Amino acid sequence: MRVEVRSRVPGGDRLPDVLVELAQERTTVRELIRAAVAEQVRAWQADSSRCRALLDRQYLTDDDIRAQAATGVVRLPDRQHGVPDADAEVTRAWRAFERGTFALFIGGRQVDLLDEQVVLRLGEPVVFVRLTALVGG
């Protein structure tokens, strides 16, 4: 089954929409994120620095930023190391999802747990939405 995955980030560039191939229509949120992130990395292999920036914009958590800020500088990881590692990006995306860095909607319904079973329907897009705090609140 092919599923369209869209990424949305308020006010800026975003990862490309991708088509993800899944073995069946019933899967877990964890597997859906794994497949989507791996495809996002593949879609941008030709432009690795742009890929790295877009992945960071989508999946870098507030905790990651705070931890780096405590060292005196915030850097986007692995920018100089070429093509992002899909497995590392998947792990980072899982952590970001669990920490509420982005929300995931399937058929207009928000899902909350990595191990939640979901049923994907043909033509229903999956949307990853980067969550950002409002200024002043």
Read off the pLDDT of residues 73-121 as tens digits, 9 standing for 90 and up: 665 554 445 567 889 889 989 999 999 989 999 999 999 999 999 999 9
| 28-85: pLDDT as tens digits | 999 999 999 999 888 777 665 665 666 666 666 667 767 767 777 665 554 445 567 8
At residue 78, the pLDDT reads 47
Dihedral of alpha carbons 99, 22, 40, 135, sign? negative
What are the domain boundaries of the chain? 2-130
Cα(27)–Cα(120) distance, rounded to whole angstroms?
A: 8
Higher pLDDT, 51 or 126: 126
In this predicted structure, what is the pLDDT of residue 59? 67
If DSSP codes are grouped into helix, strand and coil, which group holds residue 2?
strand
5 phi and psi, to 5 degrees? -115, 125
What spatial distance separates the first Cα and last Cα of the chain, rounded to whole Å? 41
For residue 80, the model assigns a pLDDT of 46
More confident residue, 135 or 130: 130
Which pLDDT score is estimated for 93? 92
